[in-house]
Chains A and B, each alone.
Chain A
Amino acid sequence: MLNPILWAKGIKSMMGVPMVAGGRVTGVMHVGSLLPRKFTGQDVELLQLAADRAAAAVQSMAAKADRVAVEALQRSLVPSALPAVAGAEMAARYVPGSGVVGGDWYDVFTLPAGELCVVMGDVAGSGLPGAVIMGRMRSALRSYALETPDPADVLARLDRKMQHFEPDALATVLYAVFEPALDQMHVCLAGHFPPVIALPGQPAQLAPIANGLMIGVSPAAPRQVTTVPIPPGALLCFYTDGLVERPGRLLDDGLERLRRVVVAQSPETACAEVMSAMVGDEPVRDDIALLMMRCRPDRADTTAVLVPPASEEVYADA
C-alpha cells in the first residue's frame, strides 16, 4: 500500500484514511511525517474530514467528465443533419434527461435502391455504458439494413448480435423502411411505441402496427412487419418513451395527449408544438427523441383515408 518513493524521501511515520464516495472506496489519503510521530485519534478524524471532502470533489469531477464524454458521444451518434430526400420533409428534437444521460437515439439514412429508413431506439442503462451500447446497436443496424431489405430480418439479426455479444443489453427499437415513392412504409417494432400518423385535415391516430419483443430478451423472438400506406401530405411522428411516459400519469393518457397534438403540418412546427404540449418547461428525467416526417406534401389530399382501419385492434388490444 505504501509507495517506496515516500520512504526514500525520508518519511518516518504515516497514516492513511479511506476516501469514500457513493459508498465506494475511491482512494486513500495519506499524511506523512519526516519525524517519527504517533498519530492521535484526533489526527485521524481531521484527516478523515479532509478525505471526505476530497472524495466528494473527485467524484463530482469524475461524474462531470463522464457526462461530458457521454454527451459528446451521443451528439456524434444522432445525425447532425437529416438527409435531404425529395418528397420528404423532416425535423427532429433530442433532449437528454436531466438525471443521467441515457441511451435514446434516432437515425435516418437511405439505402442504395432508394428506400428511406428511420430508426428510433432506447437502450436501457445510462451514462457511458448505455451510450456505448447505443453506438454499437446503431452501427450494427445500419450494416444489417444494407444486407437485407426486410425490417423484421434486420431486427432479428440485431437481436441475435446483441444477445451474443452484449448479453446484458436491453433495448426497444423501431425500424421503418419507406418505399422510394414514399407511399408506404414497412415497419417492425421491437418493444417500441408505434408512430403517430396524421392525415391532412383529420385527427391523428396511433399507427396500427403489430408489436414485438424488445431486443435482448429471448433468442428467436418472432418478428413481424406491418405495411402502412402513407397518403400524400401525411405526417408521421416517431418518438421514444420519454415523450409520453411520466411517473404519476397513465401511459395511455400520455399517448392520447400526443395523438391530439399531432397535426399534419410542417415537421418543424409539429416538433415545436409537440415539445411544447408534451414537455413544456418541466425538467425531463428521461431522454426524449422525436422525429417528424411529412411525405409528399405537394400532393396532399384531405379526403385520403388510412387503410386498413380495421387493423387498429392489432395494437389497441395488445
Chain B
Amino acid sequence: MPDARFQVEMVNGVPVVAAPEEIDISNAGELRTALLESAAHGPGSFVVDLTRTQFCDTSGLHALVGARKRARAKGGDLLLVTAGAAIPRIFAITGLDQVFSSFTSLEEALAQIPAAASGGTTS
C-alpha cells in the first residue's frame, strides 16, 4: 500500500491518485509508488488529483512526467485535475502545461477516459 497521503481510489474503474498539499523530495517516492500501483490497475489511463496541492517541486514533477511517459507508452495517459493558481503556475513555468492534459474537475478528466465514460465498474 502506498502512504496514506497518496490515496488511490477507483472511480468508475479508473484509478485516481489524490495528492497531498505538498509534494517534494520527502514524499515524491511515495507518489511514484502510488503512480506505479495505479498504472498496474485500471484501463491504462489514470488521474492524479492535484486539487489540494499547493506546492510541487522538481522531484514531484519528475514522478508525474515518468508516470505519464509509462502510461502513454502503453497507449494510456495520465490526466491531471488542478484547482487554484499554484500548480498551473509551476506547470506554466516548466512548460509542462503544454504536454499534460489538465482539467478543473474529476468528472471532466474521467470523461476523457473511454473505460470510465462508458461506465466501468466501481470498486
Separation in Å of the A170 CB from the closest CB of chain B? 5
Q: Which of A103-147 contact B (CB under 8 A)?
A: 122-126
Interface residue total, chain A, C-beta cutoff 8 A: 35
Question: In the complex, are the beta carbons of B58 and A124 less than 8 A apart?
Answer: yes
Stretch at the interface among A1-9, A196-204, A242-250, A292-300: A242-250
Q: Which residue of A lies closest to B68 (CB)?
A: A217
Question: In the complex, are the beta carbons of A124 and B62 less than 8 A apart?
Answer: yes
A193 at the interface (CB under 8 A from B): yes
Query: A251 CA to B94 CA in the complex, in Å?
Result: 13
Q: Per-residue CB proximity of B79-107 to A under 8 Å, as 1/0?
A: 00000011001101111101100000000
A20 at the interface (CB under 8 A from B): no
Question: In the complex, are the beta carbons of A99 and B95 less than 8 A apart?
Answer: no
A306 at the interface (CB under 8 A from B): no
Question: 3 tightest A-B contacts by CB?
Answer: A213-B95, A124-B62, A191-B94
Question: In the complex, are the beta carbons of A247 and B55 less than 8 A apart?
Answer: yes
Residues of B within 8 A of A213 (CB): 94-96, 98-99
Question: In the complex, are the beta carbons of A212 and B95 less than 8 A apart?
Answer: yes
Residues of A within 8 A of B58 (CB): 122-124, 170, 172, 241
Residues of A within 8 A of B92 (CB): 211, 318
Q: Which residue of A lies closest to B94 (CB)?
A: A191
Q: Which of A225-273 contact B (CB under 8 A)?
A: 241, 245, 247-248, 250-252
Question: In the complex, are the beta carbons of A216 and B57 less than 8 A apart?
Answer: no
Question: In the complex, are the beta carbons of A251 and B90 less than 8 A apart?
Answer: yes
Q: A100-B25, A285-B24 are in contact. Are A217 and B57 (CB under 8 A)?
A: no
Separation in Å of the A109 CB from the closest CB of chain B? 24
User: Can you report 16 A-B residue pairs in the complex whose CB atoms are below 8 A from each other?
Assistant: A122-B58, A124-B58, A167-B69, A168-B66, A172-B58, A213-B95, A213-B96, A213-B98, A214-B61, A216-B65, A248-B22, A248-B54, A251-B86, A251-B89, A252-B85, A286-B24
Q: A99-B26, A124-B61, A247-B24 are in contact. Are A172 and B94 (CB under 8 A)?
A: yes
Question: In the complex, are the beta carbons of B65 and A217 less than 8 A apart?
Answer: yes
Interface residues of A (CB under 8 A from B): 97, 99-100, 102, 122-126, 167-168, 170, 172, 190-193, 211-214, 216-218, 221, 241, 245, 247-248, 250-252, 285-286, 318
Question: In the complex, are the beta carbons of A191 and B96 less than 8 A apart?
Answer: yes
Question: In the complex, are the beta carbons of A170 and B55 less than 8 A apart?
Answer: no
B12 at the interface (CB under 8 A from A): no
Question: In the complex, are the beta carbons of B62 and A125 less than 8 A apart?
Answer: yes
B7 at the interface (CB under 8 A from A): no
B51 at the interface (CB under 8 A from A): no
Separation in Å of the A205 CB from the closest CB of chain B? 16
Interface size class of B (residues with CB under 8 A): 20 to 34
Q: Per-residue CB proximity of B27-64 to A under 8 Å, as 1/0?
A: 00000000000000000000000000011011101100
From A190, A193, A286, B57 is in contact (CB under 8 Å) with A286
Question: In the complex, are the beta carbons of B99 and A170 less than 8 A apart?
Answer: no
Residues of B within 8 A of A123 (CB): 58
Question: In the complex, are the beta carbons of B59 and A126 less than 8 A apart?
Answer: yes
Residues of B within 8 A of A250 (CB): 54, 85-86
Question: In the complex, are the beta carbons of B59 and A124 less than 8 A apart?
Answer: yes
Question: In the complex, are the beta carbons of A245 and B55 less than 8 A apart?
Answer: yes
Q: Which residue of B lies closest to A171 (CB)?
A: B58
Q: Which residue of A lies closest to B22 (CB)?
A: A247
Residues of A within 8 A of B93 (CB): 191-193, 211, 318
Q: A124-B59, A191-B95, A251-B90 are in contact. Are A170 and B25 (CB under 8 A)?
A: no
Query: A172 CA to B59 CA in the complex, in Å?
Result: 12
From B22, B59, B90, B99, A217 is in contact (CB under 8 Å) with B99
Residues of B within 8 A of A191 (CB): 93-96
Separation in Å of the B101 CB from the closest CB of chain A? 13
Q: A252-B89, A285-B24 are in contact. Are A211 and B59 (CB under 8 A)?
A: no
Separation in Å of the B23 CB from the closest CB of chain A? 9
Residues of A within 8 A of B54 (CB): 248, 250
